[in-house]
Each structure stands twice: as structure tokens, then as C-alpha cells.
Amino acid sequence: MVLKSTSNRSAPPGGVVGLALRILLRVSQIIVAIVTAALYGKDVGAGNHAAAWVFAVVVSVLSALTAGVYLLPFLRSHKTFAWDAILFLFWTALFGAFANMYLHAVCKTGCRNMKTAMWFDLIGMLLWFISATAGAVMFWKERRRAYTGRGSVV
């Protein structure tokens, strides 16, 4: 049996607490994306809404897939913080579009689901903002640590 050396592997950033927080963040992103896709997808399936609903479903699916891939243990997702920032911008556009339509709308039954979906858009936007910001901070901290000048010249 061949034993692999683990001396060249570095611990994940943040240790066990950081790992738990990242898992919680990614699972929350997946849940919000699935709920949002379901709320908008129901109306898209009925065929009675515009491109904003299709955009909402696409953003939700991209977010769920991305967060699912980021849950893989061997992937350092903080190195892809730019994609997190792009998803944050998508969620911001999504929240802005639906807040413009439904934030101040007075409805008895018809738009209650859309108001709920709009607030889930806000939650998704905030989760991806946290993800992008934390990823950028970890990226620059790791990059700075790699070039500290502590190497030895032989």
C-alpha cells in the first residue's frame, strides 16, 4: 500500500470554523436558489410572463450549480471570487427588476408569491455578496502570504 504524504497540503483557510461557515453559506445559497427557481419557474411554465422570469430561473440554476460545485472538498472556491461577484450582480439586477414591479404593489392574492420571490432575491443577493467579499479577502491574504520574502537563498 502506498501512503501519500500530507506534508505538502495546507489546511483550508479558516480552519474547522471557516469550513463550517463555508458549508453553511453554500447550502444556504443552494436552498435560496432552489426556492427562487421554483417560485419563478411555476410562472414560466405557465407561459404568461416576460424575459425577467426566465432570467430569474437562469440565475437561480447557475447559482445552485455553482454553490454545489463549490461544496466539493478539493476546490478552493475563494480563488473564484470573481464569479461570485458576477452572480452577486445578477442577483442584484434580479432583485432590482422585481422590486420595481412588486415592492409597492398592492395585491390581495395575485402577486403574493412574487413578493415572496422578490425577498428571496434579496437574500440571494446578500449571500453572494458575502461569498464574493470573503473570497476576495481570502484570495488577497493568501496571495500576500505567498510573497512575504521569507524564502532562503542557497
Q: Rounded CA gap, 38 and 57, in Å?
A: 8
What is the percent of the chain with per-residue pLDDT over 70, rounded to a whole number?
A: 76
Residue that the C-alpha cell 442584484 belongs to? 92
Question: Could you give the angle at the alpha carbon of 123 between the alpha carbons of 117 and 129, nearest 5°?
Answer: 135
Mean pLDDT over the full length of the chain: 83
Where are the alpha helices (H) located in the chain, listed in sequence order? 15-46, 51-70, 81-102, 112-146
Distance between the two ends of the chain, CA-based, in angstroms? Answer: 36
- pLDDT for 4 beyond 70: no
pLDDT for 132 equals: 94
- pLDDT for 147 beyond 70: no
pLDDT for 95 equals: 96
139 Cα distance to chain centroid: 16
Query: Region 88-107: what's the mean pLDDT?
Result: 90
Grid cell listed for 87: 452572480
- pLDDT for 146 beyond 60: no
Q: Rounded CA gap, 33 and 42, in Å?
A: 14
Residue that the C-alpha cell 427588476 belongs to? 97
- pLDDT for 96 beyond 90: yes
Mean pLDDT comparison of 45-54, 85-94, 105-114, highest-scoring range: 85-94
pLDDT for 139 equals: 82
Q: Rounded CA gap, 30 and 62, in Å?
A: 10
The more confident residue out of 4 and 132 is 132
Query: Region 6-18: what's the mean pLDDT?
Result: 65
At 38-70, the pLDDT tens digits run 999 888 777 767 888 999 999 999 999 999 998
The SS3 call for residue 48 is coil
pTM for this model (two decimals): 0.80
Q: Rounded CA gap, 107 and 6, in Å?
A: 60
CB 118 within 8 A of CB 99: yes
